[in-house]
Structure 1
Amino acid sequence: MTESPGDGGAPSDRIAFRILGPLQLTGANGTVRIPPGRQEIILAALLLEVNRVVSTDYLVDLIWNDEPPDTARTQVQICVSRLRKLFSTAGVDAAITTRPPGYVVKADSATVDAAVFGRQLADARQLVKQDRPAEAVDLLRAAGSLWLGSCLSGLASDTLRSKALQLDEERLTALETRIQLELDLGRHHQLVGEIGRLVHDHPLRERLRGQLMLALHRSGRQAEALDVYRVGRELLAEELGLDPGEELRRLESAILAGDPSLRAATDRPRAGGPAPAAPQPAAPPVVPGPVAREEIPRQLPADTADFVGDEEQIAGIGRALTGDGTRRAVGVTVIVGKPGTGKSTLATHVAHRLSENGFPDGQLYCDLRGTGTPATSSEVLGRFLRALGIPGPVIPELLDERAEMYRTLMASRRVLVVLDDAASESQVLPLLPGSSACAVLVTSRLRLTALPGAHRVELDVLSTPRALELLARVIGTGRVTGESVAAEALVRTVGGLPLALRIVAARLAARPHWTLASMVQRLSSERHRLDELTHGEMTIRASLSLTHDGLAPQDRALLRLLSLAQGPTLPGWLAGALLDDHRSFPSDLLEPLVDVQMLDVVGMDRGGQFRYRFHEIIRVFAREQLAANDTPAMRAAASQRMLGGWLSLAEQAHRRIYGGDFTVLHGAAPRWNPPAGCVEELLTDPLEWLDGEQANLVQAVEHAAGEQLHELSWDLATTLVTLFEVRGAHDQWEHTHQLALSACRTAGNTRGTAALLSSLGSLYLSRSQHEESRDALGTALELFTGIGDPHGLALCRRDLALLARTDGDDATALELYAGSLRDFDLAGDVVGRAIVLTQSAHIRMRNGQHDVAQTQLDEALGIYRSVGYTGGLARTLRRVGQVQLQRGEHERAVRTLTEVLDLCRETGDVMGEGHLLRDLGQALSGMGRDDQARRFFDSSLSVREQIMDQGGAAMVRLDLARLLERTGEHIRSRELLESAARTFRDRRMSRELREAQGLLDIAV
């Protein structure tokens, strides 16, 4: 038996990577969640080129386009490291390996749906060549079943989307090929419905349209086949200004002529035999209806002369409403959007465009008053029946009877029904005609997801180019181009909201002597912005008030209180804190606001929970309502709960990273604890959570300090050092601490002041600002001594010891470390003890006391392992590697240091990565592997420069200079030494300066 090319195909349950639809990853225990954003984009890019190298530069361009940050390559490296960890923990049988100039996903092609799809297409082509069409059809159908939607749907990358479109095109070509094969096999009866759906989805693909015509013709439905051609001809003329292609025109002519060559091979008469009679289409049924006057209702409001919209979006709505001749139900389109986005304007414009050709029997319109007192379905049906010519006395009283009469009248007509501002599905359902020749266009602030078969259009704010176009149409192109900067500022100020922009444009049009810059100035005050956004009967406040007033009391209160939060996006638990509601799923409180478009869902966080955001105009409105409806005491209580929630989560994140409340001081500010289940989801990776919420957490410190919540502000600021230190975020570290310090000093908060000064001392030490560090730590030590706080004293003495080490005073450093150990023991801080042991071991190591150093490091390692603190483990293992180096155990040191480097990269510890790259360079240099050592030094220098660690960068230059001097590159070596010496001098790094100067003195 000959083996089929399709034999041995991978079953779908082997597929681990799916890109033929939304990006999906399946591991040993089922579907694996891929963190949205950069990791999604990188994984998608690698899978599109599975088993082929993708360059780092390409990945950088994918994520940041033309403006990558200095740390872009490092961030890509971190993302890849996290994907590797994800593969490992999820049991995915694949690997991401580094291969210059980038990375490659190594995976069995049978586990990647796109690769399986490509192989099945190739096998199908072979079967066709072997004249085995039925088997080819089966294989092509299996290939089609791999698709779960458009390739990489939902991924926010234009570049990847263009690549995905190539695969989408291959899918359609494969579909067309399979359909042609099935038509050749005489399966036209079974194919009509499938091809009809495909033509509906892809109305401009002429091959599909021709296949539908052929299937209908062979099924004895010639009239429908010709109607499909007519619809396609009109669509091509309207959309593209083109006539159908020659092949489609020939097919129409052949159908009209009854050309026998169109029959399927299986239906053609045998030689000498009669041709089978073609089945005749059944006559359409006649639908009786009540006697009525012939009325053609034209109820649409006036179109907007200066309308600006998305032509592609408008065309899509038109296609959904007019259908393609194969639709069996009424076409329904729902336009949804927040207040002021122009839903009614768009609906009216589209309805006018379609009215004459698409719906010649009339257009019905009704404002359903969804944001006020909603109109009843019975009331609306009464209006429509009268408009259709039914006398008032004949109209039934009952809703069901009115709906039946309405559907009967509409059955013989082509009418467009426009339902503006719908309140609910139950209000709309009785207003739907029964005929597929009619269509319904609905606008609503709700998504109306229960309307069957509805096509939904999410209307957003205008893009800047469209907004400027609208402005120019109202006030004139000259004024817009003459003040282009001010025009763009106007658009930004109103957030691209169409209603707000029309109001601004109308005011400017009525006042030609006003400049656009003056309008920007008038809108700059948030307090008076809504007062400015009014003109005649157009007012943003009125539009938003309609929705606000229709909300339940609790939802109105939450909308107002949410305006207290000023971060870029809002987490779901915040709703529970603001309302003091401890339900398990606090994000449920936000859903009513999302439903009415007063709040947007903008994505998911790393824990899989939704993120929310206000449109700026709605935030301004909510703050106005907050001031009018909530007392200062109510606002203050809500703020304290919200900020207490941020503090609680940051505190718990620190505990999970360090294994407890170690190396940090806490105050007495009240916490608000989110539900336990919510916390577990959020803090699965506590450092990632801190990183993702950095903007909100910094803003929370600013908020607390501004409200003089001094105890809360210092506690949160010092807790965030957990993040700032690992990520090298020195500017945020100083910014938050200075704000909190000002609040604490104003309030006379001694402990808070001491805690902040102690933390700032650590920061200044990291920056090699030794005098500033010594002053801050000295003051903090005095304050902690005065209040008898051993934990604070331990932290100060630890950092003062490090300062003494930097100055070369090892004796003083060891004395301070001894005092710090006693204080940490009094405070019960075992991690603090381990940190001091690790730091003092470095002094012992430098002085040749290797056994003492190793004993201290072993104790520290034991502590870190017992509490599960990975960061401390990495730092102590680094010291172990350095001890091994000093003992001449170079190979062993390289293995230890490489292990620590991987740990740093997995946790995103950029500072640690810079240290480890330097250590490995030193180890390899000591082994005489100069080329490798130089690469590590270069990488370390790059990392240090990216995070602006000038002192650390200078120390790497010192190492590199020694290496280059040995390899004969004397000029470059001297340049590096001079650069390092300047930095050491500026930063008062005396020990390092003496070393650099000594090397310069003996340099060639």
Structure 2
Amino acid sequence: MSAVLRRPGDSVFRILGPIEIEGPSGPVWVTPGRQQVVLALLLMEANQVVSTDQIVDTLWDQLPPETARTQVQICVSRLRKKLADAGVDLPIVTRMPGYQLLLGENTLDMHVFSGKLAEARVLVREGRAADAVTMLRSAVALWRGPCLSGLSNPALRSRAARLDEDLLTATEDYLELELELGRHHQIIGEVTRLVHEHSMRERLRAVLMLALHRAGRQAEALEAYRTGRHLLVEELGLEPGERLRLLESAILSGDAALAQPEPSRSAATPAPAFERPRQLPADTADFIGNETLIRTAEAVLAGGDRTAVGVVVMIGRPGSGKTTVAAHIGHRVADRFPDGQLYCDLRGTREEPAAAADVLGRFLLALGIPGPVIPVGLDERVEMYRTLMAERHTLVVLDDASTESQVLPLLPGSNTCAVLVTSRSRLTGVPGARQVEVEVFDQSQSLDLLGRIIGAERVSRELEAAVALVRTVGGLPLALRIIAARLAARPHWSLASMVHRLASERHRLDELAHGEMTIRASLSLTHNGMDQRSRTLFGLLGLAEGPDLPGWVAGAVLDDDSRYPSDLLEPLVDVQMLDVTTVERSGEFRYRYQDMVRLFALEKLNAEVPPDMRRRAVERVLGGWLALAEQAHRSVYGGDYAVLHGTALRWLPPSTYVEQVTADPLEWFDGEQANLCEAISQAAEAGFDEACWDLAVTAVTLFESHGYLDDWEKTHEKALQATKAAGNVRGTAALLSSLGTLHINRGQTGRAREALTAALATFEELDDPRGLALCRRDLGLLARWAGDDDGALALYAAAMHDLDRAKDIVGRGIVLTHRTEVLCRRGLVDEATAQLHEAIMIFEGVGYRNGMPHALRRIGQVQVRAGRHDDALTTFTRVLGMVRESRDVIGEGHLLRNLGEVSALLGHDGDARAYFEQALAARERIMDHVGAAAIRVDLAPVLARLGESSRASELVSHAARIFGDRGMERERVAAEETLTCLGAGHQRTLL
């Protein structure tokens, strides 16, 4: 839907894309052919007289019939009737020497586009580059494809081409402005796609070269020039223009004039248009695969002529390398999907496959939607996901799918996106999917891989034995890698002896399926050749849940406190029993099992290691996660504040890992999100209820700060089952209290009150001061929302008393921040200010950085109430910078709205409009429709004062509809009252 504005009951006309009419009752279909051509011509010349001769020349390029003028009259008459029957008020009046189509303000997208371009030019002249970018981007967003696409009339195509040129010029304008604002990193993906689509436009290529250069990618910048020069010479026989040639020379010479400008510090600078996730697993350096299959998949995924989302389902037996091939293909086509790549392991072969709703929650977070805005239901998540993906070029990789029902909700609806699925089953129920099968390696590929691992010379010396070995493993890549790694570790073994050993092991396992038998035979040979410590580690490590594991887990399962526990894993890596997945910035490796290897490890473990030893190993791993999560929370809050802990075992990993955590605790939390959730589930299933609830409530530091509300709920529900089953009263209360906070984040006040009240009763019985404080703090917030200020103050006072007993100073600062809103409502501005300054001193004293924006924003609000508007403007501007630095998009929306409000109070309506527009864009970007509606109501009076009464009324009407649709009666009535006031003000102006 375009951004054309209209009043209820008005009609909208669109030509920036296929021709469309939206009437009062919905879309209006106009007969293709002459009626569409005449309508398109009249719309392009709206409010101007179009002569009959001009219409004739447009309809009949050469030799019009003698009845041409009569046919034009009939066509116009039928068009009038068609529109009138649909309730479309579109006067087509007869004016000598032809016809005139009369359009109102903001009803044709072409006019809105031109108006936005004119506003952007004014903003540029005023030095407001950030606002100009926003205006230009909103203008470009009106386009739904080439102008009048679908109409082949030569005369109209010529006119449409001029408008298409305006679109590209506007795009180039905002990209150059983005460069001036220092946003080169954000635009590289977008401009790369545009250069690919418009390879002859030198201005676009210059933007790409400069953006790459400023991002430190000089080689790619020069390659972009060379590619463009080759195209120009080959296609047109021309050298690049002077601008590109000079830019190339400047890059080669390192000209300082190309250095990036200082980023704009304007308070109204918008955040990037949207997130561009890059979630693909790493590609394999020595990849070997079926090139025909890969090209087939690439053609479906990256083909430019498809009309629906491209879907490839890649099937194959265990060990055939489906995941490796999928990752390789994903990287090969990644440049065709500049808006990002989403990836998820659907765990289809596990006991509990990933639920579609949970996967959508993860994808929506990755696409920039904050947790509190993500809907709870599957259908609503699907709708939001497909809406977000509709305008993006994104690749989705779904690994290890089990059923069609798991995949279908995850399919985007746009032909600009593509989906690659791997599965052991033929998912024939996925509509439009191209099924491709990952075959085992042929003899040539197998020998190639074998030679890469053990050496080509060794293979050639025993070529006949190498061929026999390949035949024995059946060409399965996983089995071949394991056997090859074993040979590489034993250079004195002959390939012939390995063939004999493997054949004997296969005979022992001949009751198994062929593929499984081959892999297990390979694993058994390697396992039997390891020393006892490595075999024990191999088995115990299989107990650790999670997609990949840090090296300290090896020390935990063996209870080895050596400084470099990852050294224990190297023997397993050397023989391909364990994969290295990534290398962290600290230089530490991450490890994971192939699914079948892990199953094999657990089988060996159960057969060889006593149950009590296995249980102690699990407890130590859980203790390691708990110790590190505790360290992360302390680093965020400045100590063990605002959280409850239990008595579970802590196993502290080496100092190198602790230092990683404390260096950037929230980044560590985010990187270990999946492992923490798996550890909580494992603790619940293994009966470690104390560790389970403690780890769950400690991980809330991550869940709340990053909006992982699904993980918050899922982990707590599992932990709650564990504590209730174990009769763990305090753990149950801690989880209920935390769930109460979760429900508050989701706006579920009834559920929040129920959970908090139950937890409070238990903490009262236990006389647990910190538990009491956390419950009373949140119950005070609920009382405040309900308008019970007396009740809120009483709860806050009791909470601060409990926090003082618990010596929880950060908790006290948080309650002081909450309390000031009630004090302000009662006119106690000085007391509120004093309490906020106390809170800020607490936060600064312990280093609780996350508390500062909240407290400072409250100070700004107090300053507004006290009439200190200039001070408030300064405070809000400072906090806006803080929330943008932390990428808090919800906080950004709040601060922009605050800045708009205070600017309006100062009489700076131009600034107020800019801030409100930015706030509205921020809310719309995260699809917070209610928040956006509230900002429309705030913006409307400002626009009215600036002489834009029509647009102001439209904004409020839109907001009232949103409130009405969601049953928000109080807000709807307030919006309609605002609309009435706007109407009265407009009438007074006319009088």
Given the superposition, is the C-alpha separation of residues 934 and 760 from structure 1 closer, same or farther in structure 2, using an over 3 Å criterion? farther
Letter in 2 for 1:789: D
Q: What CA distance in whole angstroms lies between the structure 2 residues aligned with 1:112 and 1:729?
A: 34
In structure 2, distance between residues paired with 1:796 and 1:627 = 44
How far apart are the structure 2 equivalents of 1:587 and 1:823? 44
Change (3 A) 1:985 1:105: same
Shift of 1:972: 2.2
User: Does the C-alpha gap of structure 1 residues 734 and 60 become closer, same or farther in structure 2, counting only changes over 3 Å?
Assistant: farther
**Structure 1 residue 689: deviation in Å?**
0.5
1:909 is displaced (CA, Å) by: 3.4
* Counterpart selection for 2:635 from 640, 649, 656: 656
Match of 1:727 among 687, 699, 706: 706
State the shift of 1:864 in Å. 0.6
Displacement of 1:657 in angstroms is 0.5
Residues 757, 779 of structure 1: 8 Å contact kept: yes
Alpha-carbon deviation of 1:660? 0.4
Contact 1:55 1:101 in 2 (8 A): no
* Letter of the 2:189 counterpart: L
Cα deviation for residue 826 of structure 1 reads: 0.5
Which residue is equivalent to 1:977? 959
Contact 2:843 2:851 (8 Å CA) reproduced: yes
Q: Give the alignment's Cα RMSD to 1 decimal.
A: 5.1
Which of 786, 789, 801 matches 2:780?
801
Q: 756, 775, 784: which is aligned to 1:777?
A: 756
Q: Which residue of 1 aligns with 2:598?
A: 619
Residues 571-627 of structure 1: CA distance to partner in whole angstroms, max 9, x if unpaired? 111111111111111111111111111111111235442111222221222222222
Structure showing greater Rg: 1
CA shift for structure 1 position 62: 8.3
Matched, 1:666 2:645: yes
Q: What's the counterpart of residue 542 of structure 1?
A: 521
Q: Distance in 2 between matches of 1:530 and 1:1001?
A: 83
CA offsets, 1:217-272, max 9 Å, x none? xxxxxxxxxxxxxxxxxxxxxxxxxxxxxxxxxxxxxxxxxxxxxxxxxxxxxxxx
Letter in 2 for 1:978: A
Deviation at 1:847, TM superposition (A): 3.1
2:852 aligned with 1:845, yes or no?
no
Partners of 2:974 and 2:860 lie apart in 1 by 23
Give matches, 1:502-541, under 5 Å.
532-534=512-514, 539-541=518-520
Which of 684, 703, 709 aligns to 2:663? It is 684
Percent of pairs identical after alignment?
44
Q: Provide the C-alpha distance between the structure 1 equivalents of 2:830 and 2:730, rounded to a whole number of angstroms.
A: 40
Letter aligned with residue 528 of structure 2: D
CA distance in 1, matches of 2:510, 2:907: 71
Deviation for aligned residue 1:965: 5.7
Shift of 1:559: 1.6
Alpha-carbon distance in structure 2 between the residues aligned to 1:701 and 1:62: 42
> Structure 1 residue 760 and structure 2 residue 742: aligned?
no
In 1, Cα distance between the equivalents of 2:937 and 2:548? 44
d(CA) in 2 for partners of 1:114, 1:855: 56
Q: Distance in 2 between matches of 1:624 and 1:347?
A: 31
Question: Please, which of 692, 702, 711 is the counterpart of residue 681 of structure 2?
Answer: 702
Q: Indicate yes or no: 2:179 matched with 1:59.
A: no
Q: 1:307 to 1:593 in 2, by over 3 A?
A: closer
| Structure 1 position 578 matched with structure 2 position 708 | no
Read off the aligned partner of 1:660 and give its amino acid letter.
G
- Check 1:619–1:855 CA distance in 2 against 1; reply closer, same or farther (3 A cut): same
Instruction: Could you tell me which runs of 5 or more consecutive residues in structure 1 were left unpaired when the two chains were aligned.
Output: 1-44, 67-99, 122-139, 145-155, 162-305, 314-339, 372-418, 432-440, 446-498, 504-528
Please say which of residues 906-915 and 680-689 is displaced more in the overlay.
Answer: 906-915
Instruction: Give per-residue Cα distances to partners, 1:939-998, cap 9 Å, x unaligned.
Output: 445555666766655544543455456552343233343245347746x9x7x6775575
One-letter amino acid of the structure 2 residue matched with residue 782 of structure 1: A
Is the aligned partner of 1:590 residue 2:569?
yes
Residues 1:921 and 2:900 aligned together: yes
Residue deviations 1:764-813, cap 9 Å, x none? 11222111111111111111111111111111111111111111121211
Alpha-carbon distance in 2 for matches of 1:843, 1:954: 25
Q: Which residue of 2 aligns with 1:224?
A: none
CA contact (8 A) 1:569 1:611 kept: yes
1:713 corresponds to which of 684, 692, 700: 692
Q: Is the 8 A contact 2:486 2:575 kept in 1?
A: no
Q: Distance in 2 between matches of 1:812 and 1:101?
A: 59
Change (3 A) 1:889 1:830: same
What is the letter of the counterpart of residue 861 of structure 1?
A: I
Please say if residues 781 and 796 of structure 1, whose CA atoms lie closer than 8 Å, have aligned partners that are also in contact: yes
In 1: Cα distance, 2:757 partner to 2:690 partner: 22
Distance 1:747 1:951, change over 3 A: farther
The alpha carbon displacement at 1:534 in A equals 2.4
Q: Using the alignment, how far apart are the partners of 1:961 and 1:846 within structure 2?
A: 25
Q: CA deviation at 1:344?
A: 10
- CA deviations over 1:541-582 (Å, ceiling 9, x no partner): 111111111112111112212222231111111111111111
Of 862, 871, 877 in structure 1, the residue corresponding to residue 856 of structure 2 is 877
Q: Distance in 1 between matches of 2:321 and 2:661?
A: 45
CA pair 801-958 structure 1, distance change in 2 beyond 3 A: farther
Q: Residues of 2 paired with 1:567 and 1:696: CA distance?
A: 5
TM norm structure 1: 0.50
Distance 1:730 1:581, change over 3 A: same
Deviations along 1:136-176, one digit per CA (max 9) or x if unpaired, are: xxxx9xx99xxxxxxxxxxx9999x9xxxxxxxxxxxxxxx
Q: Deviations over 1:635-675 (max 9, x none)?
A: 22111111111111111100000000100000111111111
Change in Cα spacing, 1:736 to 1:420, as seen in structure 2 (3 Å) is: closer
Q: CA offset at residue 897 of structure 1?
A: 2.1
Q: 1:757 to 1:849 in 2, by over 3 A?
A: same
Which residue identity does 2:853 align to in structure 1?
Answer: A
| Number of matched pairs | 574
**CA distance in structure 1 between the aligned counterparts of 2:679 and 2:851, rounded to whole angstroms:** 28
C-alpha separation in 2, matches of 1:344 and 1:106: 42
Residues 530, 621 of structure 1: 8 Å contact kept: no
Q: Is the 8 A contact 1:951 1:983 kept in 2?
A: no
Question: Which amino acid counterpart does residue 59 of structure 1 have in structure 2?
Answer: G
Question: CA 1:949–1:620 in structure 2 vs 1: closer, same or farther (change >3 Å)?
Answer: farther
CA distance in 2, matches of 1:880, 1:911: 19
CA contact (8 A) 2:646 2:691 kept: yes
> Could you say which residue in structure 2 is the equivalent of 1:164?
none
Structure 1 counterpart of 2:956, one-letter code: R
- Aligned partners of 2:952 and 2:628: how far apart in 1? 54
| Shift in CA distance, 648/1001, structure 1 to aligned 2, threshold 3 Å | farther
Please tell me the residue identity of whatever aligns with 1:756: L
Aligned equivalent of 1:643, options 609, 615, 622: 622
Aligned position for 1:860: 839
Determine the structure 2 residue equivalent to 1:893.
Answer: 872
Distance in 2, Cα, partners of 1:647 & 1:748: 21
The alignment partner of 1:870 has SS state of coil
Gaps of 5+ in 2: 1-174, 197-205, 227-248, 254-276, 283-319, 329-437, 470-481, 984-991
Asked if the contact 2:803/2:812 (under 8 Å) is kept, the reply is yes
Listed one character per residue, the Cα deviations across residues 470-525 of structure 1 (whole Å, up to 9, x for unaligned) are: xxxxxxxxxxxxxxxxxxxxxxxxxxxxx9xxx9xxxxxxxxxxxxxxxxxxxxxx
CA separation of 1:955 and 1:751: change in aligned 2, threshold 3 A: farther
For the structure 1 residues 910 and 702, does the alpha-carbon distance in structure 2 shift closer, same or farther, using more than 3 Å as the test?
farther
Match for residue 610 of structure 1?
Answer: 589
In structure 2, the CA distance between the partners of 1:704 and 1:341, relative to structure 1 (3 Å rule), is: farther
The TM-score, its normalising length taken from structure 2, stands at: 0.51
Matches within 5 A, 1:139-150: none
Match of 1:912 in 2: 891
SS in 2 for 1:683: helix
Q: 1:686 offset after TM fit, Å?
A: 0.3
> Structure 1 residues 785, 422: closer, same or farther in 2, change over 3 A?
closer
